[in-house]
Amino acid sequence: MKVAKLFPVLSLVAVALIAISPTSYAQAAPAAASPSKLPKGWDSRIPLPPDAELIDSTVPKTGVVYSADFSVKGKYQDLVDFYETQLPKNGFVLGPKVAMAKRQVYNRSFSHGGNLNSVVLTPNLKDPSKMNLHFAWSSGTEKKK
């Protein structure tokens, strides 16, 4: 029940689909999806596991928050470790974290230059070998008032 209440609080959802080897994501170099597969407004500093597959994305009609959905094949803890190590390596300051290993739910906010972003990891209910990734981010190009 608590997990169900967590999702409406999140601003947008993104999902990442990846084929991985048994090697931990945290040890792998972050590889971005090819530019043709990245959503409009994507912050290229946000790391994606190798072979991330863009499923869906939105652009803000008002405001500055973009979202993207990716799907990834892999293990929950490997993906958590990947984001816990790669986000700081890419210059982001880590914010609050929610991690429920038994439910395989992870939410980490991260920021850079005053822009607050988030990544949410959840199980793929149709394919247990995959995880969903949700990103919400600001492009950093908005005009300041």
Q: Structure pTM?
A: 0.74
Tell me the pLDDT band of 21, cut-offs 50, 70 and 90: very low
Tell me the pLDDT band of 141, cut-offs 50, 70 and 90: low
- CA–CA distance, 80 with 25 (Å, rounded to integer): 9
- Per residue in 44-93, pLDDT (tens digit) is 999 999 878 999 999 998 888 999 999 999 899 999 999 999 999 999 99
Architecture of 2-138 per CATH?
2-Layer Sandwich (3.30)
Residue 95 has which token pair? Answer: 């914010």
Q: What is the DSSP string of the chain?
A: -HHHHHHHHSS----EE----SS-TTTSPP-PPPGGGSPTT--TTS---TT-EEEEEE--SSSSEEEEEEEEES-HHHHHHHHHHHHHHTTPEEEEEEEETTTTEEEEEEEETTEEEEEEEEE-SS-TTEEEEEEEEE-S-SPP-
